[in-house]
Structure 1
Amino acid sequence: MFKLTQLLLNATLAIVAWGQYYSNTTTYTNPILSAGGADPWVIRHDGWYYMTYTTNDDVSLLRSQILTDWNNAESKVLFTPPPGLNYSTDLWAPELHQLNGTWYVIFTADPRSDSPSPELDMFCPYNCPAIHHRMFVLEGHGSNPWSASFVYKAQLNTYDQFSIDGTYFQHSSGLYHIYSCWYTQYAAWPANLCITKLENPWTVASPFSERQIISVPSLPWEKTPYGRAENDRLSSNEGPQQLTNSRTGQQFLIYSAARSDNRNYCLGLLELAPNGDPMNPSDWRKHQYPVFYQNPAESAYGVGHASFVKSPDETEDWIVYHGMQDPTNGWSARTIRTQPFIWNENGTPNFPKPGYGPYKVPSGQ
């Protein structure tokens, strides 16, 4: 009798263990990186997912074969800036791109830990702590970003004006730099989306007279506080990311709006007209409502600054983003999450409500 009882107990434990294993390998929950983080950028290359995100002090790279769990990912520092340079502090929103067979990291940084002197701050109509932020580029050669050796390449010309969250926009007419900008050097707010044409990934071809502003935070949901029509301070368009519908060829720019430490942070969408010129503001159409926004029913707030990647078998599209569970804690509350999305009949992306799951893991994982 004892042996039978023991056998039944062992069988039960085995079933429970298998059930836990099966659950753990077929579902996941958000966040996907328990240590927290913001501004995630994820790409997939040769069977590996690579992630960069804001660490402030350096540019770090994580790699994992599992999109939905980065807690056991390998990590390495690609670049630590020397002190006393224009890019020594507050490194934000690094992105990893492969362009013409070479790896590039584009990132934001400043020389003064976000602290302008009173002599400069007095020119701004609002407080302007990020006035020194500019865009910079690293270059790496190698078959994959993990083995590539990265070196500082150049500062991207933004006409000695505020610039953050820069990204590369690839188009049949060339390569472009899209970033968050002010109207003028001391404007402080609002933060808009600017575009310039590039000669190569580290050299801007456009003179200042040709720089174009393609989006401003003009709608209520793009402003902070929400809906205060006369308010420019803290109203932002930032974190632009290219998204292409591979079925229709439609070109989108997904961007973050409102303020990044606020519950109302969300994603907006610009669509480039067919055969449109990226440098022509009238060829960009802004959708009038946010396409990804807070879900109070699941305490998912401040969702934004996204990137986009395929499932391992290339059949699904996934959004990787940051959000908050307790928005009263601001920037320190941000964590990195991911969820699948689909496409509407008109070719625009259809993002899910943000939440914590459990969700089904990516196809092929």
Structure 2
Amino acid sequence: MPRLSAVLAATLIVLMGIFPGAAAGSAATQSFRNPVNPSADPSLMYHDGDYYVATTRGDRIGIWKSPSLATLLSAPEQVVWRDSDPSRDTQMWAPAFRHVGSRWYVYYTASDGVDANHRMYVLESAGDDPMGPYTFKAKIADFGEYAIDGEPITHNGQQYFVWAGPGRGMGGPAQLYIARMSNPWTVTGGRVAIPADGGCTEVREGPTPLYRNGRTFLTYSTCDTGKPDYQLWMKSVADGADPMVAANWRQHPGPVFSRNDATGVWGPGHHSFFRSPDGTEDWIAYHGKNTSTYTYDFRTTRVQKFTWKADGTPDFGRPLAAGATQDLPSGDPGAATSVINDTDPEVSYSGAWQSGSGCGNQCFWSDDHWSGEAGASATVTFTGTRAALLSVRDRGNGIAAISIDGGPEQRVDYYSAIRVGEQLNYLSPVLPPGRHTLRVRVTGEKNPASGSTVISMDRIEVY
């Protein structure tokens, strides 16, 4: 397609944040769409020419690296840590980066498989590379009880550690705590509980710092990450005030980032912040779902730019639709990426397929194609080195056979007990630059839990 004018492109970006069906065709190379990673609890940063993201992986610490946000979804995971100690080798959650001197530190939560035994740990890099290698450094902030989601903050030049732990008379991570740090892997002295509102009683977790004009904002998640109302709230402490005095923390009323039913984003939270490559823009990375069902599955990493209000507080806006086309961060070099919708001429269909907009905001541009007829196929013609398929998974979906350039087929199960859209169902291998064909064949088969053999075609990201 011809490149859109700047004014028209900006208009479409705004519209697609509200209506995923506001436009069609390939997007410009200076844009991207969410998700940027298929996992949850992101710590995302830009450093020395590359983006890095670490997310919850369960049995390991993994990091993805890409020179452009547009290609982060297609980047390979590099596993930087597995643990042979059975007291901390599972339920590994919420890694968070910090750079101190010439070393990188990754803070994370792990257990022996029993949730109540979660404690916090820190890895240290061998050199000045965020990809490691890493070695185990220490257990951190162990006060003899459940503790998760810890990371350092800096206020008035002093380092502190903040985390989530049990509330007074409440179960689960319902209280935030803070303690001073003497070095990147050690807290010193006692802890202080920071009372935190949240619109619910379930959790106060994922405390993350944000800085502006000497003021430290502590943003945190509430209301259980499996629920659609998982959301962000915020406290702040003024320049010069002691953060170890609970009363010095100002509670900001109401959620600062929450579900957006109009764009099909539920449970936005457990986040991090990063600056654009040129340092002029502020961005938030968070996980969200495009199902309102209570589930811990299908949380994917999304990012969007935020601004600041006249009173000096952040304005995070509302979560954009997963497929909303956004401008890349300022200074991002971009990449030769594009997007193909299921209705675009690059997709041809053979056999019986249906199409429509009944899937609404669970689909890219509010439409998709689907078929349950054995032998029906969809062929995508694209120019690039890689392609990703994102579409609906549902309890009535079956098994597809996917091939590239007439090569061997890979079987992919599109079934899910929960209906959810724009899920990464397939990522092709890296291909030689040039013209390629990707074929999706309906096998007519399904796993025993599924009610039918339907396969959906929706959104194709091309790299």
Fold equivalence (TM over 0.5)? yes
8 A contact 1:190–1:216 mirrored in 2: no
Which residue number in structure 2 is paired with residue 133 of structure 1? 118
Determine helix, strand or coil for the equivalent of 2:29. helix
Deviation digits for residues 313-333 of structure 1, max 9, x if unmatched? 211111000001013151112
Name the structure with the higher strand share: 2
Tell me if structure 2 keeps the 8 A contact 1:68–1:338. no
1:187 and 1:293 mapped to 2: Cα distance?
24
Q: For 1:232-247, what aligned pairs fall within 5 Å after superposition?
A: 232=201, 235-245=202-212
Among 234, 257, 260, the residue aligned to 1:292: 257
**What SS does structure 2 have at the residue aligned with 1:31?**
coil
Map residues 193-342 of structure 1 onto 2, 5 A cutoff: 193-206=176-189, 210-217=190-197, 219=198, 221=199, 223=200, 232=201, 235-245=202-212, 248-328=213-293, 330-342=295-307
In 2, Cα distance between equivalents of 1:22 and 1:153:
47
AA paired with 2:125?
G
Q: Does 1:98 align with 2:103?
A: no
Percent of paired sites with the same residue: 34
Separation (CA, whole Å) in 2 of partners of 1:311 and 1:21? 27
Query: What is aligned with 1:362?
Result: 329
1:170 paired with 2:154, answer yes
Q: Which of the numbers 39, 58, 62 marks the counterpart of 1:60?
A: 62
**Residue 4 of structure 1 aligns with which residue?**
none
Distance 1:216 1:316 in 2: 28
Residues 62, 76 of structure 1: 8 Å contact kept: yes
Question: Which sections of structure 1, spanning at least 5 residues, go unmatched?
Answer: 1-15, 115-129, 224-231
Query: Matched residues in 2 for 1:110 and 1:291: separation?
Result: 31
1:209-265 CA-to-partner distances (Å, cap 9, x unmatched) read x31111234x5x2x1xxxxxxxx4xx11100111012xx222111111111111001
How much does 1:189 deviate?
4.0
Bigger mean CA offset, 251-260 vs 137-146: 137-146
Query: Deviation string for 1:83-124 (max 9, x for gaps)?
Result: 52x21110000111111321111100001x23xxxxxxxxxx
Aligned-pair Cα RMSD in Å: 2.0
Deviation at 1:17, TM superposition (A): 7.1
Contiguous gaps of at least 5 residues in structure 2: 5-23, 333-463
Give 1:21 deviation, angstroms. Answer: 10
**Structure 2: distance between partners of 1:354 and 1:21:** 23
Match for 1:47: what amino acid? G
Q: What is the TM-score with the length of structure 2 in the denominator?
A: 0.64
2:128 to 139, 143, 147: 143
What do the CA deviations read for 1:48-92 (whole angstroms, capped 9, x no partner)? 1111000001001111111244222243111001152x2111000
Does the 8 Å contact 1:131/1:162 carry over to 2? yes
Q: 1:330 and 1:265 mapped to 2: Cα distance?
A: 11
1:190/1:78 CA distance change after superposition, 3 Å? closer
| C-alpha distance in structure 1 between counterparts of 2:308 and 2:317, whole Å | 11
Residues 282-337 of structure 1: CA deviation (Å, up to 9, x unaligned): 11001011111110011111000111111122111110000010131511121110
The CA deviation at 1:174 is 1.8
Cα 1:139/1:276, change in 2 over 3 Å: same
Letter of the 1:243 counterpart:
L
State how far apart, in whole Å, the 2-side matches of 1:42 and 1:267 are: 17
Contact 2:44 2:51 in 1 (8 A): yes
Q: 1:18, CA displacement in angstroms?
A: 6.2
Change (3 A) 1:316 1:173: closer
Contact 2:147 2:173 in 1 (8 A): no
Range with bigger deviation, 168-177 or 331-340 = 168-177
Give the Cα separation in 2 of the matches to 1:30 and 1:169.
Answer: 28
Q: Quick check: 2:204–2:223 contact (8 Å CA) kept in 1?
A: yes
Letter in 2 for 1:103: W
Which residue identity does 1:291 align to in structure 2?
A: V
With over 3 angstroms needed to count, the CA separation of the structure-2 counterparts of 1:301 and 1:46, relative to structure 1, is same
Of 138, 155, 162, the residue aligned with 2:139 is 155
- Equivalent position amino acid for 1:143 in 2: D
Structure 1 contact 339–352 (Cα < 8 Å) conserved? no
The question of whether the paired residues in 2 share the 8 Å contact of 1:327 and 1:333 is answered with no
Give the match for residue 70 of structure 1: 72
Question: Is the 1:303–1:354 Cα contact (8 Å) retained in structure 2?
Answer: yes
Q: How many residues align?
A: 311
